[in-house]
Amino acid sequence: MNFSMGLWATIPAIDEARAEILAALIESDVWGKPLKFFSSNARPGEKLVRRPGALFKRDRAFLRDVLRDPRVGSVHMSAAPLTRGEVDEAHISIDVNLESWECALTMDGRRWLPNSRTQREAWVEAIVTAFDRLGSTQAIILVHEKYSVFSETTLTGYGSSSGGIHHPWPDEFDRVAHLRGRLGVDQIRFPRWGTLLSPAHLERMGGVARIVEVVQPAVVRELSGGTYFQLTDRVATSTSEESLDRQRRFIELAAPLLPPPRTLSTAHGAAAST
């Protein structure tokens, strides 16, 4: 199986300090190859602030400014041009479009797995540190087949040859994608190999001690916006049976906070509103 690493997170609105943290993460060497290819989406009624293309050292100020530009809906940085189609390089998307819920930013990285153990662990450390510095209140890190990672992080189902979507747990994907606008407020994403939860979510699950007792994660780390749990201590064991068993127990404990199963009437209602 062609494995990739992915992440998804929410944080408060981007101010100057958070723009600097995000830009520094994009410019760091943990991605293997530099994330130098830029593209963006404009908010409704606005024009693109810049054509897609490579950014250079002289564009450092532009990257920081565009993350806070009110005309911009999302920013994308990748190690190869997205126009190439099938790209197995690192990619990060930052949704800077304010929504009507408490978190203003989502972030995903996908289609990529560092070659060495040292690189993999360095990437995880850099991402968790970014969660801490950005004030993230909910996040996940996962390792799976690359198209499944794409579906999970973006909540955009990547179609498979069988007519379904690339995702190991399609029902979970459907439940989360249906209620994406409330994630981080009333509901959370399904726990994965790495999971960050806010104090409010932790309280409803019985606290950190209860999660440690039931799930037995290998890593428990207090961050500025909540507590980060990691099911095993290394990326190499993230898809092991032990890791997946802990994930199942985590999901069972988190059941009151997860998006509910979609009923037939709910599905029809969603279809009618699109």
Q: How distant, in Å, are the alpha carbons of 15, 33, 119 from that of 106? A: 15, 22, 24
Torsion over CA: 166, 157, 69, 140 (sign): negative
Residue 148 phi, psi dihedral angles, 5° rounding = -65, -40
pLDDT tens by residue, 179-216: 655 565 678 889 999 999 999 999 999 999 999 999 99
User: What confidence score (pLDDT) does residue 260 get?
Assistant: 82
Low-confidence ranges of the chain (pLDDT < 50): 100-104, 264-274
Q: How far apart are CA 223 and CA 134, in angstroms?
A: 10
Whether residue 110 contacts residue 75, with contact meaning beta carbons closer than 8 Å, is answered with no
Exposure class string for 190-212: b at 16+ Cβ within 10 A, else e: bbbbbbbbbeebbeebeebeebe
pTM given for the model: 0.86
Q: How far apart are CA 216 and CA 208, in angstroms?
A: 11
For residue 234, how many other CB atoms are within 10 A of its CB?
15
Tallying the residues shown for the chain, one arrives at 274
Residues β-bridged to residue 10: 106, 138
